[in-house]
């Protein structure tokens, strides 16, 4: 029988990054061609104030360059605009402006854009630069701003996002339900959570709380069909995946005969992988928080944070 529930949207995690080099225009375009409703990517800022789409703070893992993005210029013979990915087919690093231009094409006007703000960034500088790019687009208030979701890991970014990008939706990104509840609940309408943390009893409670409060849940990074079906059972709103075609084809099959297809995927994986057990989940959350706070200091409740008075030009 047809699906009795609404099935999650498909957003390409760093684009269709299993098929093309991650965080490149080719990867983004492949996800869109597959039929994804959104793309997700990360941002860093170059020495000469260019916002680039890149996951790591350094270039070494995925390109033929070396060193930190923040210490290098974008333009010039030795600039990052000359670099190419290690993975084939070799691609250039896209800028935020180039990615926005792609999204502004008429055929891409339906595509959402999840911007993962890495904690190495200076929030005021980054959001001011993003604001300039966004507001330079025609009809940006209606044609672009509603499609941008700014994803935050640390509370230090919240007041700056409110000040510089008040027209963008905000999400918490992370692997801690405690942090989501305590620090981000009142400031975000979307919660982008690591798949494993939602498998617990507290994860079930959190999913219920979000539904009751009208908050959306995105789950990452879901590449296995059994986990995709589990996320469907949870009733999440968006699945972030490297394999966009896999989820879209599975979703189509679920639309046609939900009971038959869903029955093919058991929940046994929850007991056969160490990553879903409490010690692994506790360690992962602790390690992540330690790294995040090493860059921006301890997380703070919004009521205790000083207001940001600078207003974008």
Kind and range of the H or E element at 113?
strand 112-117
**For residue range 213-231, what is the model confidence (pLDDT) as tens digits?**
999 999 999 999 999 999 9
Share of the chain above pLDDT 70, in %: 95
Euclidean distance between CA atoms 66 and 72, whole angstroms: 10
Burial of 105 (0-12, 13-18, 19+ CB in 10 A): exposed
Query: Confidence class of residue 311 from pLDDT cuts 50, 70 and 90?
Result: very low
Query: Confidence class of residue 302 from pLDDT cuts 50, 70 and 90?
Result: confident
**For residue range 3-52, what is the model confidence (pLDDT) as tens digits?**
667 999 999 999 999 999 999 999 999 999 999 999 999 999 999 999 99
Query: Confidence class of residue 309 from pLDDT cuts 50, 70 and 90?
Result: low
**Stretch among 77-81, 241-245, 306-310 having the lowest mean pLDDT:** 306-310
Instruction: State the angle between helix axes of 25-34 and 244-256 in degrees (0 to 180), rounded to the nearest 10.
Output: 10
For strands 190-194 and 148-152, give the pairing. Answer: unpaired
Euclidean distance between CA atoms 218 and 226, whole angstroms: 17
Q: What are phi and psi of 268, to 5 degrees?
A: -60, -30
Record the tokens describing residue 183, joined without a space.
């620090």
Euclidean distance between CA atoms 99 and 67, whole angstroms: 23
Question: Model-level pTM?
Answer: 0.95
Segment 58-69 mean pLDDT: 98
Burial of 98 (0-12, 13-18, 19+ CB in 10 A): middle
- Tell whether the model's pLDDT for residue 312 goes beyond 50: no
Q: Which residue shows structure tokens 């990052």? A: 80
Query: Confidence class of residue 158 from pLDDT cuts 50, 70 and 90?
Result: very high
Euclidean distance between CA atoms 300 and 115, whole angstroms: 22
The alpha carbons of the chain give a radius of gyration, in whole angstroms, of 19
- Report the Cα 215 to chain-centroid distance in Å: 16
Euclidean distance between CA atoms 14 and 54, whole angstroms: 9
Cα 245 to Cα 36, 171, 251, 264, 301: the distances in Å are 8, 25, 10, 19, 40
pLDDT at position 187: 97
Euclidean distance between CA atoms 234 and 297, whole angstroms: 34
Residue range 9-304 forms a domain whose CATH class is alpha beta
Do 220 and 237 meet the contact criterion of CB atoms below 8 Å apart?
no
114 closest CA partner among 1, 241, 208: 241
Euclidean distance between CA atoms 234 and 227, whole angstroms: 11
- Tell whether the model's pLDDT for residue 303 goes beyond 70: no
């Amino acid at each position: 029988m047809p699906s009795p529930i609404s099935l999650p949207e498909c957003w390409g995690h760093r684009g269709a990054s299993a098929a093309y080099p991650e965080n490149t225009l080719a990867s983004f375009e492949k996800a869109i061609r597959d039929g994804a409703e959104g793309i997700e990517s990360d941002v860093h800022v170059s020495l000469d104030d260019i916002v680039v789409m890149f996951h790591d703070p350094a270039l070494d893992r995925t390109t033929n360059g070396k060193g930190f993005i923040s210490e290098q210029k974008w333009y010039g013979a030795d600039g990052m605009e000359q670099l190419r990915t290690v993975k084939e087919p070799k691609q250039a690093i896209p800028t935020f402006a180039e990615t926005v231009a792609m999204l502004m094409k008429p055929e891409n006007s339906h595509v959402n854009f999840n911007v993962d703000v890495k904690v190495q960034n200076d929030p005021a500088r980054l959001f001011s630069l993003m604001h300039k790019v966004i507001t330079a687009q025609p009809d940006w208030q209606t044609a672009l701003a509603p499609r941008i979701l700014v994803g935050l890991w640390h509370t230090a970014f919240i007041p700056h996002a409110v000040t510089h990008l008040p027209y963008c939706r905000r999400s918490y990104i992370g692997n801690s339900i405690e942090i989501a509840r305590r620090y981000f609940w009142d400031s975000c309408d979307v919660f982008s959570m690591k798949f494993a943390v939602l498998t617990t009893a507290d994860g079930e409670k959190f999913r219920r709380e979000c539904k009751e409060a009208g908050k959306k849940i995105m789950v990452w990074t879901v590449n296995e069909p059994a986990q995709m079906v589990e996320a469907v059972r949870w009733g999440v709103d968006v699945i972030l995946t490297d394999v966009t075609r896999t989820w879209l084809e599975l979703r189509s099959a679920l639309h046609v005969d939900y009971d038959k297809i869903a029955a093919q995927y058991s929940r046994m994986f929850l007991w056969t992988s160490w990553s879903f057990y409490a010690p692994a989940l506790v360690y992962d959350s602790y390690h992540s928080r330690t790294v995040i706070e090493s860059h921006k200091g301890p997380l703070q409740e919004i009521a205790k944070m000083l207001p940001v008075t600078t207003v974008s030009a």
